Structure 1
Amino acid sequence: MMAFISFDESMKILNSLQFNNHNTHKRYLLDCLGFVLAKDIHAFENSPAYETSAMDGYAFKHKDISLEKLYIKAINPAGKLIDECVNDGECIKTFTGSLMPKGADTLIPIELVSVEDNHIIINQSVKKGFSVRAVGEIYKKDEKLIAKGERVDFAQIGVMAGLNIVTPTVYTKPKVSILSTGSELLELGEEQTSISQIRSTNNYILEALICKYGGEPLAHGVVGDDKNAILEAFKKALHQSDIIVSTGGVSVGDFDFVKDVVHELGFEVLFKGVNIKPGQHIMVARMEDKFIVALAGFAYSATLTALLYLVPLMAKFQHFEYSFNIVEATLKSPFKKKSKKTEFWACDYRQIEGRFEVNFNSKKEGSSAILTNMLGDTAIFISEENDGDRDIGDVVKIMLL
């Protein structure tokens, strides 16, 4: 049996993992949401490439501002090229997004002039260059705009669309097989035939969590507490996925077979047992670039340890450095330390004037099966190994989800 290691030690092992290959592929731009870029995105031209109007108004030479009255020579719609240029004493009506006409260096908004007999009367002065978008205002040629390893969100999609990048190169999301073990578990919609049976929630939690945090889930359903059945299910999942995440069967009970199956499959156990609460029987194992993350069966415990271990591992497949969103908060209700372990408990939180406050008012005491403690405005309260009880007013650490 492997000795339990500290939470910090387990994170060092996870963070030090190196991969032989990172698979990439080209993908249609709008389908890249949530994927991680595999190449830097550079600007191949200035944007805008030419001086353009930022407002509807009249383009003119700023030195003529003192004339107070200018002749309207032409109209310059957006998307059109005009031959006329602005001479002394003249202006050209120019619209938002239009190229600035030759000879003009300033645009005065429509709201600041009045029109009389094909002339504008300047009612309010503006500075030179007003409402003119400079060349390269958005980005300059060869500027690196989006870095490799950045996750694609709406802003990245917009910038790449502006560069006419139809199919960016992204890292392939890891395929994650989900297996819930336990003869007592019922699938969604399955009829209960005994009071000893309970609904399986872990496989559905994990599928949602994998989708949210950048993986491709493969549901394998529930497997009973039979070693051969579990072994066959793992073998099938291995052929289809990069990671297998399982729940149940990792403790020391008579029917906890997952740990044995991991060894029979030839995986190297990176760690088995971490000094955390809940979820201490977490196991992470590796064979080449395939992984098994075996979690405890209770729902809150499985969810928490998936957030701590599975989510960062999925990020590594995409060359993405995942970091926990840990912030300081002021404690508004007392906390009683339960063990000499690093503890992670659901808490209520709110932000007031930029500062976080936490309490446990809506959270139930009990086992690590209480998934409903994750409902509402919930964060994870962190109590490190050597921490003790905490009082109202103490500054503590919480992990935002």
Structure 2
Amino acid sequence: MIGFDEASALVADQAQALPPEAVGLALADGRVLAKPIIARRTTPATDISAMDGYAVRDEDLTDAPVRLTVIGQAYAGQAFDGVLTPGACVRIFTGATAPTGTDRVVIQEDVQREGSQAVFSQTPHGGRNLRAPGSDFAAGEVLVEPGVRLNAQKMVAAAAADLARVSVVARPRVLIISTGEELDEPGRPSKLRPGIPDSVSFGVAALVRAWGGRVVDRWLLDDDLTTLEKAARSAIDRADVVVVTGGASVGERDFAKAMFAPLDLQLIFSKVAIKPGKPIWLGRASGVLVVGLPGNPTSALVTARLFVAPLIAGLAGLGSAAATDWRSTALTGPLAACGDRETFVRGRRTPAGVEPIGDQDSSAQKALALSDVLIRRRPGDTASSAGALVESLDF
């Protein structure tokens, strides 16, 4: 049995980004960029109006008030087909290309329209209300660096760069296997026995997706070694990571490791000195990463947050450190002394800090729903009162 820090370091060693792949821009949201986004064009390509108003030449307004003849209109995507001549102006709208010869755009609020004439009561000063060519970015400029997750803002930049496809890190494929004859699919209880709804796999699946992974399947299997061995062979052909829940203890029907034995299971670690979740293990079977989680819902989800999240984040290109952002936070309620195992207390954030949840049982699911933070307690930590600083991690 190893300590939490050692286990975390071993997870980080395995969490290397998968190879890149090119995807259509419409499918890139939420993916991690593998290569920089480089602009294919200069934006704007010409002088662009920044306001609704009138495109004018400065020399026509030096003796304001003056009247100028409106010789046309310019819309975004539909330029004025001509040149701005002396004594003339063009009605122009935001985003439209400024006609050749334009010195500035006078906003419409400062102009009085009288038929085909525009009356300018004063000589304009200050900003030109024009966006100069390349004022946003130039062709060849890097708009988004690799290694970041594409969000709404970065998707806008990628589209503005005029890219149809982008290079992103492949999403790790994750297959989740829940073991236990006592488990049923939620809403579909077995007629053969009173069962327990399988809740763990849904939480693990949500966590995998949150950290950049793709759940390729979710299986619910009985504790039959022959069946589980067959499932293991199928799983490693379809996934980069297989997550097994349950069967991680030492009972007669605990086959989580045994099911992968024919596939040359090589353990990276087996058991970690933490509470909850001591039975957590990590290995490779035929080269594919396999994570074994406890069967109790809270134990499973806590260990998944501590170990599966960094693993998926690293494989997805975010880096495992993205999922291990521990912060120093003030307690808003007391904590008892910690025993000889590192303990992760479920809690919730408040405006004043973090508050421990009352029910810390490893099978508690209502309390789990209230938790949004883990509080780290080192072995031998003494009791802490409200106001004490603790290490916390978003759950």
Q: Same fold (TM over 0.5)?
A: yes
Partner residue of 1:254? Answer: 252
Contact 1:45 1:142 in 2 (8 A): yes
Is 1:326 equivalent to 2:340 in the alignment?
no
Give distance in 1, aligned partners of 2:394 and 2:296. 21
CA positional deviation for 1:386? 5.3
Amino acid at match of 2:4: F
**Which runs of no fewer than 5 residues in structure 2 stay unpaired?**
none
Tell me what 2:11 maps to.
14
After superposition, the CA RMSD in angstroms is 2.5
Change (3 A) 1:338 1:85: same
Indicate which of 27, 32, 35 corresponds to 1:31.
Answer: 27
8 Å CA contact retained: 1:37, 1:151 = yes
1:8 Cα deviation from its structure 2 partner: 1.4
Question: CA separation in 2, counterparts of 1:13 and 1:332?
Answer: 33
Question: Cα distance 1:125–1:381, how it changes in 2: closer, same or farther (>3 A)?
Answer: farther
- Describe the SS at the equivalent of 2:126: coil
Distance 1:365 1:51, change over 3 A: same
Q: Would the aligned equivalents of 2:64 and 2:123 in 1 still touch at CA under 8 Å?
A: no
CA distance in 1, matches of 2:123, 2:8: 63
**3-state SS, counterpart of residue 205 of structure 1:** helix
Residue 394 in structure 1 maps to residue 388 in structure 2: yes
What amino acid is the match of 1:397?
A: E
Residues 228 and 288 of structure 1, relative CA distance in 2, 3 Å threshold: closer
1:1-400 maps to which residues of 2 (within 5 A)?
A: 4-17=1-14, 22-62=18-58, 64=61, 67-78=64-75, 79-87=77-85, 90-116=88-114, 118-122=117-121, 125-129=124-128, 131-188=129-186, 189-191=188-190, 193-195=192-194, 197-287=195-285, 289-322=287-320, 323-324=322-323, 325-351=325-351, 357-360=353-356, 363-376=357-370, 378-385=372-379, 387-400=381-394
Aligned pair in 2 of structure 1 residues 265, 111: CA closer, same or farther (>3 Å)? same
What SS does the aligned partner of 1:387 have? coil
* TM-aligned CA distance change 1:99 to 1:270, over 3 Å: same
Q: d(CA) in 2 for partners of 1:91 and 1:386?
A: 80
Closer/same/farther in 2, CA of residues 81 and 222 from structure 1, 3 Å limit: closer
**Aligned partner of residue 150 in structure 1, secondary structure:** coil
Q: Deviations over 1:24-50 (max 9, x none)?
A: 433222122222223211012221111
Q: Measure how far apart 1:376 and its partner are.
A: 4.1
In structure 1, what residue type is equivalent to 2:29? L
2-side partners of 1:83 and 1:18: how far apart?
58
How many equivalent residue pairs?
389
Partner SS state of residue 67, structure 1: coil
In the TM superposition, residue 123 of structure 1 has moved relative to its aligned partner by 5.6
Structure 1, 386-395 or 50-59: larger mean CA deviation: 386-395
Seen in structure 2, the aligned counterparts of structure 1 residues 293 and 66 have a Cα distance that, compared at 3 Å, is farther
Helix, strand or coil at the partner of 1:358: strand
**Match of 2:233, SS?**
helix
| Aligned amino acid, residue 398 of structure 1 | S
Q: Secondary structure at the match of 2:165?
A: coil
CA deviations over 1:172-216 (Å, ceiling 9, x no partner): 222211111122222231235445x32211122222322333222
Three-state SS of the structure 2 residue aligned to 1:161 is: helix
5+ residue gaps in structure 1?
Answer: none
Question: Aligned equivalents of 1:342 and 1:272: distance in 2?
Answer: 16
What is the CA–CA distance in structure 2 between the aligned matches of 1:288 and 1:159, rounded to whole Å? 41
2-side partners of 1:243 and 1:150: how far apart?
22
Distance 1:80 1:223, change over 3 A: closer
Find the aligned partners of 1:181 and 1:17 in 2 and give their Cα distance: 25
Give the Cα separation in 1 of the matches to 2:113 and 2:232. 79
Please tell me whether the aligned partners of residues 177 and 237 of structure 1 are also in contact (alpha carbons under 8 angstroms): yes
Q: 1:76: how far off?
A: 3.0
Matched position secondary structure for 1:151: coil
Once superposed, which parts of structure 1, at least 4 consecutive aligned residues long, lie more than 6 Å away? none
What CA distance in whole angstroms lies between the structure 2 residues aligned with 1:208 and 1:321?
19
Task: Give the counterpart letter for 2:79 in structure 1.
Answer: L
